[in-house]
């Protein structure tokens, strides 16, 4: 999965570069037609047939859709890591978010060297959609998205955004003391980074404002397309559904 505009902006074949367990890079060539998108979001999903032998050589972990944050912005109650007696917290403004992504200025010559970035939810998705620029294109599109306060710039698009929260609950046991409580830390896939907001700033030379020169400054607010849009593509796209049925039969 990634951001849709990342796939659209590639002139040739999208290539996945994956680290092997032995440290060597592995490149998997894909076709744009394999990537399926969401009509109302900036996400793209593709399914690939990787042999068990190849999979065992790759430094990869898969993510179950059970940990995707739901469309009502809650954690799914069906998760096995949540005690049945515990009600997990809703996703809220201020919650921690971490990003795993590419550092374009030093991405790794011989293997992927991803970085981890940190932020907090600044605004929950609303009925009013967020307008995002389409790279290399004069038009815009509007999507439902979270706003996350973080440092983000070009090259971060498509990075998975992970929600984390720590909460306290009282175990439901007969012998538990009234003051006894247990802490639990949870995480889930919030979505994928779609972009960030810039502001245009005029350039000064001393006290003189250079009217014909301006620069774009990062506001520190990232746009995150929600995980439920990714799940909707996985479950509802015709080609992905057909591929899933074929794999189940085989």
For the CA atoms of the chain, what is the radius of gyration? 21
Residue 170 pLDDT = 62
What the block records as the tokens of 146 is: 């979270």
Residue 243, token pair as written in the block: 């591929």
Judge whether 44 and 230 are in contact, CB under 8 Å: no
For the chain, domain boundaries:
4-249
The single-letter DSSP state of residue 19 is E
According to CATH, the topology of domain 4-249 is Thrombin, subunit H (2.40.10)
Confidence (pLDDT) at 216: 65
Low-confidence residues of the chain: pLDDT under 70: 134-139, 152-154, 169-181, 198-199, 201, 209-211, 214-218, 250
Q: How far apart are CA 250 and CA 247, in angstroms?
A: 5
Q: What is the pLDDT of residue 174?
A: 55
Q: Give residue-wise pLDDT tens across range 65-78.
A: 999 999 999 988 77
CA–CA gap between residue 76 and residue 65 (Å, rounded): 10
Q: Which residue has the tokens 């502001």?
A: 199
Burial class (CB in 10 A: 0-12, 13-18, 19+), 2: buried
- pLDDT tens profile 23-39: 888 999 999 999 999 98
The pLDDT score that the predictor gives to residue 135 is 57
């Amino acid at each position: 999965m990634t951001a849709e505009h990342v796939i659209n902006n590639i002139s040739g074949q999208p290539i996945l570069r994956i680290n092997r367990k032995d440290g060597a890079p592995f490149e998997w060539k894909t076709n744009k037609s394999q990537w399926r998108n969401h009509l109302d979001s900036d996400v793209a999903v593709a399914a690939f047939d990787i042999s068990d032998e190849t999979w065992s050589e790759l430094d990869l972990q898969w993510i179950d859709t059970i940990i995707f944050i739901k469309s009502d912005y809650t954690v799914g109650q069906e998760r096995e890591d949540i005690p049945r007696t515990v009600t997990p917290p809703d996703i809220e403004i201020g919650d921690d978010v971490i990003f795993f992504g590419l550092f374009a200025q030093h991405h790794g010559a011989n293997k992927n060297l991803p970085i981890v970035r940190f932020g907090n939810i600044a605004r929950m998705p609303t009925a009013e959609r967020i307008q995002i620029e389409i790279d290399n294109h004069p038009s815009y599109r509007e999507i439902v998205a979270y706003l996350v306060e973080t440092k983000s710039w070009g090259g971060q698009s498509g990075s998975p955004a992970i929600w984390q929260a720590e909460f306290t609950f009282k175990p439901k046991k007969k012998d538990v003391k009234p003051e006894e409580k247990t802490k639990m830390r949870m995480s889930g896939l919030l979505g994928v980074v779609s972009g960030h907001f810039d502001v245009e700033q005029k350039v000064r030379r001393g006290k003189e404002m250079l009217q014909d020169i301006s620069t774009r400054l990062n506001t520190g607010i990232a746009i995150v397309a929600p995980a439920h849009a990714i799940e909707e593509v996985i479950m509802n796209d015709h080609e992905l559904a057909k591929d899933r049925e074929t794999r189940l039969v085989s």
